[in-house]
């Protein structure tokens, strides 16, 4: 079952990559942009019988490896 784990910086954590992209877009002529944040998405194919088992597995993997819970939040969804 295909799942998608979104990993995003928590509110208030500085995102230097996003800031750099914002400045670069501004220099390229895209004016008036608000905040820019760059997040990570991990697409996985997990062996699971149903969606809730797949989501539980995704959350376990996020806690174990994919997200740094000190500064990042994660969410898991089934995509197919």
Residues that bind a copy of itself (CB under 8 A): 6, 18, 21, 24-25, 28, 30-47, 57, 60-61, 64-66
Smallest distance from a copy of itself to CB 21, Å: 7
Smallest distance from a copy of itself to CB 56, Å: 12
Helix (H, G, I), strand (E, B) or coil at 69: coil
Smallest distance from a copy of itself to CB 51, Å: 16
Residue burial 3-14, b: 16+ Cβ < 10 Å; e: rest: bebbbbbeeeee
């Amino acid at each position: 079952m295909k799942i998608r784990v979104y990993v995003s910086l928590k509110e208030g954590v500085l995102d230097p990559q996003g800031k750099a992209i914002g400045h670069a877009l501004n220099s390229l002529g895209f004016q008036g942009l608000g905040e820019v944040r760059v997040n990570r998405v991990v697409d996985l194919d997990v062996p699971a019988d149903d969606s809730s088992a797949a989501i539980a597995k995704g959350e376990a993997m996020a806690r174990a490896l994919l997200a740094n819970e000190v500064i990042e939040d994660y969410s898991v969804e089934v995509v197919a």
